[in-house]
Amino acid sequence: MNTHYSSEKGIQILVKLLKEHHIKRVITSPGGTNMMLNASLMYDGSFEMYSSVDERSAAYMACGMAEESGEPVMITCTGATAARNYMPGLTEAYYRKLPILVVTGTQDLRRLGNLYDQVTDRSVHPNDILTFSTYIPTVRDDKDADSAALKINQAISALTLHGGGPAHINLETVYSRDLSVTCLSPVKVVKRISYDDELPTLPQGRIAIFIGSHRTFTEDATMSIDRFCENHNAVVFCDHTSGYKGCFRQLDALLSLKGAKCLDNIRLLIHLGEISGDHFNMGAYAKEVWRVNKDGQLRDRYGKLTYLFEMSDKHFFESYANKDCCPGISFIQECRADYNKMYDELPELPLSNIWMAKTLAPKIPESSIIHFGILTSLRSWNFFEVSNSIRSASNVGGFGTDGILSSLLGASLVNPNKLHFCVIGDLAFFL
């Protein structure tokens, strides 16, 4: 009988991403739950595989191999107490920041605590053996597959994030003995780009920037975004929590609600900031998403992430300001024309949150500060622009109804010379 790749999708995704991230050295301690992974790695032929029946020795071997090669090394073992034997070597790797990828096989974790043999709890680990740990359950559908791919990308990224160190994948198996799969399906690869790395080329086509909640941009950061947009015919889509007040700002809620033509054929969406109160999905219009954030975390809000740039917004836009320029018909002018047309075509609104927002937005005094309640209040005001001199905020971090008025009071105590406004629902007023 010919053996090929395992039929288990989780194993296939892992093998594919190991290849895509150029991880080639594997030290395996054979066992039941990682048997099909080992067979798949052997069939692929791209990996240097070494056997070590003692897991403690395997982890220390990986330390020496990673130190000498300067490259990530994968170690893999089975269930029961096997992974416990990795701890001394992983402690060494943690303090020396050695990139060791630990892949432990496990049975279905629903068996945990129910008297099944060789099922151990790996959900908690000592603080100084791993920089990252994740669990990959059996992949049963496309959503499971997307989740598994992102988690594996995150684990591999953690090997070198903030100095690096060991990262862990707990990979569930169903003990399939089917090794009939002859080729691996494509898997989305997400790569992290740091300050010193070579920058990828901007794709040809329309480029948009979307900013979630963000602290107010400095003048220098704003200028770097504006220069980028000018050179690349890009536009900055925002809501009232974006903190950006530059020349290429455009509220997108009304455009997205109405399916504006200007949103067609966005090739690349550059994603900044954190959680957004804009519930209209800009990612639906883009073919690819790049995220920029100093935290270095792979956060795939739109399911289309291909690169994470571990750097400041300012550094990113300055690095690309004069690269791969793509002039054309003004994207921002097209967006503004569509917005103005849709605004003019709005029907007469009844007394409502949206009517209040439309009526009051142009009347908020210059240079004041306004805080919005989450959901209805913020969504209503996101349809309508306020003056660029007005700063706005909302509690979109925890996204709860409580604390909005208190946040406004705190802000007013720091800046008592500014006029502060709060738009809030009646229920949240009392929280």
Residue with tokens 């690309």: 320
Q: What are phi and psi of 20, to 5 degrees?
A: -65, -30
Pairing between β-strand 191-193 and β-strand 305-309 as defined by DSSP bridges: parallel
Q: How far apart are CA 25 and CA 166, in angstroms?
A: 15
pLDDT given for residue 403 in this prediction? 83
Which tokens go with 300? 């795939």
The predicted structure's pLDDT at residue 331: 94
Cα(255)–Cα(257) distance, integer angstroms: 6
CA distances from 250 to 178, 353, 423 (A): 53, 21, 21
Q: Domain boundaries in the chain?
A: 9-183, 206-341, 346-429
Task: Give CATH for domain 346-429.
Answer: 3.40.50.970
Alpha carbon 93 to its chain's center: 26
pTM: 0.91
CA distance 285 to 306: 16
DSSP string, 59-86: HHHHHHHHHHH-S-EEEEE-STTGGGGG
Q: What is the pLDDT of residue 431?
A: 52
Per-residue pLDDT of the chain (431 residues; tens, 9 = 90+): 578 999 999 999 999 999 999 999 999 999 999 999 999 999 999 999 999 999 999 999 999 999 999 999 999 999 989 999 999 999 999 999 999 999 999 998 888 888 888 888 888 899 999 999 999 999 999 999 999 999 999 999 999 999 999 999 999 999 999 999 999 999 999 999 999 999 999 999 999 999 999 999 999 999 999 999 999 999 999 999 999 999 999 999 999 988 899 999 999 999 999 998 876 777 788 999 999 999 999 999 999 999 999 999 999 999 998 877 766 669 999 999 999 999 999 999 999 999 999 999 999 999 999 999 888 899 999 999 999 999 999 998 888 777 888 998 999 999 999 999 999 876 655 55
Q: Do domains 9-183 and 206-341 have the same CATH topology?
A: yes
What topology is assigned to 9-183 in CATH?
A: Rossmann fold (3.40.50)
261 Cβ contact partners less than 8 Å away, ≥ 6 residues apart: 338
Class at the top of the CATH hierarchy for domain 206-341: alpha beta
Distance (Å, rounded) from C-alpha 84 to C-alpha 59?
11
